[in-house]
């Protein structure tokens, strides 16, 4: 008979949820680029990018929360503490910047929607390009934070506390 796996608890969810914000927030700018390349479907691509940013940012809040719970359960050494502190600080910074970027993109989308006939044609391309320039450092910070988390798992052997299988 089919059985669902046991619920791992909030701290054990971190390895499951952490990949969602990474993927969603790294794919979103590709949709902005697609909107610039295919002007006919610009609004759809830009709106899809906004949806991914919102979902990715919400997932980042969940990932940080589950990560904080998992960190409390971790076996510690001074080196692990150093990498973990860096990982946590980066996670807070990444969460903050993607929250800001998501709100900014929401305002840009509102400006495009409500100022559709008033915006000069060149602004339709320049504003998203400027946004992407601002998005790039956040993406690099996200990758750096993910690398620190990967070091904790693969270099230092930290893992989530999972319940035993039935």
Top pLDDT among 90 and 111 is at 90
How far apart are the C-alpha atoms of 117 and 111, rounded to whole Å? Answer: 11
Q: Per-residue pLDDT tens for 32-61?
A: 999 999 989 999 999 999 999 999 999 999
* Percent of the chain residues past pLDDT 90, beyond the cut: 61
* Mean predicted lDDT score pLDDT of the chain: 88
Q: Kindly indicate the confidence band of residue 70, based on its pLDDT and cuts at 50, 70 and 90.
A: confident
**Cβ neighbours of 130 (radius 10 Å):** 11
Contacts of 101 (CB under 8 A, 6+ apart): 53, 131, 134, 135, 138
Q: Is the pTM of this model over 0.75?
A: yes
Per-residue confidence (pLDDT) for residue 122, from 0 to 100: 66
Per-residue confidence (pLDDT) for residue 166, from 0 to 100: 54
At residue 162, what are phi and psi to the nearest 5 degrees?
-105, 145
At residue 164, what are phi and psi to the nearest 5 degrees?
-65, 150
How far apart are the C-alpha atoms of 31 and 105, rounded to whole Å? Answer: 12
Residue 24's closest CA among 60, 66, 68, 65?
Answer: 60
């Amino acid at each position: 008979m089919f059985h669902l796996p046991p619920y791992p608890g909030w701290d054990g969810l971190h390895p499951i949820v952490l990949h969602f914000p990474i993927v969603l927030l790294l794919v979103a700018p590709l949709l902005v680029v697609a909107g610039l390349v295919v002007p006919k479907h610009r609004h759809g691509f830009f709106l899809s990018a906004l949806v991914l940013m919102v979902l990715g940012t919400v997932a980042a809040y969940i990932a940080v929360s589950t990560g904080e719970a998992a960190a409390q359960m971790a076996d510690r050494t001074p080196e692990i503490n150093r990498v973990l502190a860096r990982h946590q600080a980066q996670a807070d910074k990444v969460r903050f910047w993607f929250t800001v970027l998501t709100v900014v993109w929401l305002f840009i989308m509102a400006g495009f929607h409500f100022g559709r006939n008033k915006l000069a044609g060149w602004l339709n391309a320049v504003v998203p390009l400027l946004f992407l320039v601002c998005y790039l450092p956040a993406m690099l910070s996200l990758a750096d934070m993910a690398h620190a988390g990967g070091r904790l798992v693969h270099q230092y052997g930290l893992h989530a506390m999972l319940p035993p299988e039935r």
